Amino acid sequence: MLTFRSRTIRRCAISLAAVITISAPAQQPYQIVDHWSIGGTGGWDYLLADSAAHLIYITHGPRVEVVDSSSGKVVAAITGMKGTHGVALDDTGKYGYISDGGSNSVVVFDRHNFQTVTTVPAGTNPDGIVFDPTTKTVWAFNGRSKNVTVIDTATNQAVATLDVPGKPEFPVADGRGSVYDNIESANEIVRFDARTKTLTATWKLTDCDSPSGLAIDRAHHRLFAVCDGTKMAVLDADTGKQIASADIGDGPDAASFSTKRQLAFSSNGEGTLSVVDAAHGYRTIQNLPTARGARTMTYDDTTDRVYLVTAQFAPVPAPTAQAPHPRPSALPDTFQVIVVGRK
């Protein structure tokens, strides 16, 4: 017969086991589960998962590779551009939008046949790009002209050009009418009202230099900016108050967020993927080794998989007066996708 003390211990043990069982999936470590060879030449920038269509769009020099996220096969390529940076998708499944920095324009393509529909003039070197579902607009942030081109997706025409207080990086939309963007040169985040097309806030970051990648937790109104100095800044998206600073790997350039699992991700050029637990004090729970140069990524919330891209590199050239900090070039036909998940 169980005594009161033994019954109490047993109940506590069962309760503890339940907590561990519930918490285990969130804490289970990620690992590399596949590599997909893409090949070709040229650099790369952002990529974007289309969960519903089981596709990944990858900017790759003058083209965008369209990859089947189930098989890793390249199913199409959108070509004819000069220097691609990012991809945004409307919410009807009809159009996609590519920031072609090399031609100072946004290329609109048909998502069924991957053919170019039209080209919209933008500012100088459009880079980060995002679709706002409340106003059905696309926001292309122009890196060199320090402004943003707003495109109406009903007409595929530019309807506004708005200034930003410095060099913009990656944007996100909260689905409630606000668009946010990192201002890399000023260590700031700006907020726009997408309906009135006005700048409504500028928030200074602390302990976070040169913010690049930005992710959002829409349910809890949190922003995650990844910065130089191995830091991820966490902000209240309503007030701009910085509420946490998490440790991440070196050289980050992209961030993503898992709504289901309450995890924030940072892809780092040093060759790591940092995973931050947003449900338990913004603790860094993993720094997964990936590959050198894998600084950009996308996350598929449906499959709980992270996709990163990189290549093999030639030796770093000797510094010169014109290039005191030279970068190595990517070797031809070594471009690849690294698939991260849980087995």
Q: Which fold has domain 29-51+205-314+326-343?
A: Methylamine Dehydrogenase; Chain H (2.130.10)
Amino acid at 120: V
Q: Do domains 29-51+205-314+326-343 and 80-189 have the same CATH topology?
A: yes
Contact call for residues 275 and 340 (beta carbons, < 8 A): no
**pLDDT value, residue 7:** 41
197 vs 9, more confident: 197
Q: 245-259: per-residue pLDDT in tens? A: 999 999 999 999 999
Contact call for residues 99 and 128 (beta carbons, < 8 A): yes
Distances (CA, A) of 327 to 9, 244, 316, 331: 61, 33, 6, 13
Q: 146-160: per-residue pLDDT in tens? A: 999 999 999 999 999
pLDDT (mean) for 55-64: 98
pLDDT at 11 over 60: no
pLDDT (mean) for 323-339: 92
Q: List the one residue out of 9, 170, 187 whose CA is nearest residue 179.
A: 170
Name the token pair of 255: 């961030």
pLDDT at 26 over 60: no
Architecture field, domain 80-189: 7 Propeller (2.130)
337 vs 322, more confident: 337
pLDDT (mean) for 27-45: 93
Domain ranges of the chain: 29-51+205-314+326-343, 80-189
- For residue 294, is it left (φ>0), alpha (ψ between -120 and 50) or beta? beta
One-character DSSP codes across 240-303 = --EEEEEE--SSEEEEEEETTTTEEEEEETTTEEEEEETTTTTEEEEEEE--TT--EEEEETTT
Q: What is the pTM of this model?
A: 0.91
> Average pLDDT over the chain, rounded to whole?
92
